[in-house]
Amino acid sequence: MHYPNGKKVSVNAAKPSVFRETIYSNRGMTLEEDINETNDFYKDSNKAIIHKKPVPVQIVQVDYPKRSAAVIKEAYFKQASTTDYNGIYKGKYIDFEAKETRNKTSFPLSNIHQHQIDHMKQVVSHGAICFLIIRFSVLQETYYYPAEKLFIYWEKQLNGGRKSIPLDAVKKEGYIIPIQFHIKVDYLSVIDKYCI
């Protein structure tokens, strides 16, 4: 794969951490799958409309070893992606990024990119509810973390500060997301309680 600036990246390196299969608590589910199921539940119950944003990719070379199978050999990112999800809830625009880490003590800021921060700042400036969903997979804990708090740590790292958000800060400044049978990442319950 190639980024818009022409840099070549291996397909595995280009995959965000939420796409990698992580097995925990014998569930074999990834954060992205859990959020997608949650969003389906929200949509089916007419609670909210939240969608996974497609990654803009231009396919350049495809091999057809068999008529029924195609293998993408070369593709380019058309542009830098923004965040993973967006939609509407109770008349408010919702925009968020989902990240999973195996780190037990902090969330590495290397999981986020400057263009994502820029996008999040723009949507916040227009009154959107913007946040990270961070899953500490080893700890089996998932948090709602406000974008405004993320911006503080982002700026500090650019000025020589630490390059991660300590788990204690995530717990203090964010909110644990409850896990229920039908709603595996019930982030709207956090928004109802703390944001609206």
- Residue 144: both structure tokens together: 């709602």
Q: What is the 3-state secondary structure (H, E, C) of the chain?
A: CECCCCCECCHHHHCCHHHCCCCCCCCCCCHHHHHHHHHHHHHHCCCCEEEECCCCEEEEEEEEEECCEEEEEEEEECCCCCCCEEEEECCEEEEEEEEEECCCCEEEHHHCCHHHHHHHHHHHHCCCEEEEEEEECCCCEEEEEEHHHHHHHHHHHHCCCCCEEEHHHHHHHCEECCCCCCCCCCHHHHHHHHCC
Any binding-site annotation on 58? no
Any binding-site annotation on 84? yes
Any binding-site annotation on 116? yes
**192: Cβ contacts below 8 Å, ≥ 6 apart:** none
Q: Is the dihedral of CA 32, 38, 41, 47 positive or negative?
A: negative
Cα–Cα distance for residue pair 5/98, rounded to 1 Å: 24
Any binding-site annotation on 142? no
For the annotated binding site for Mg(2+), the residues are 82, 84, 97, 116
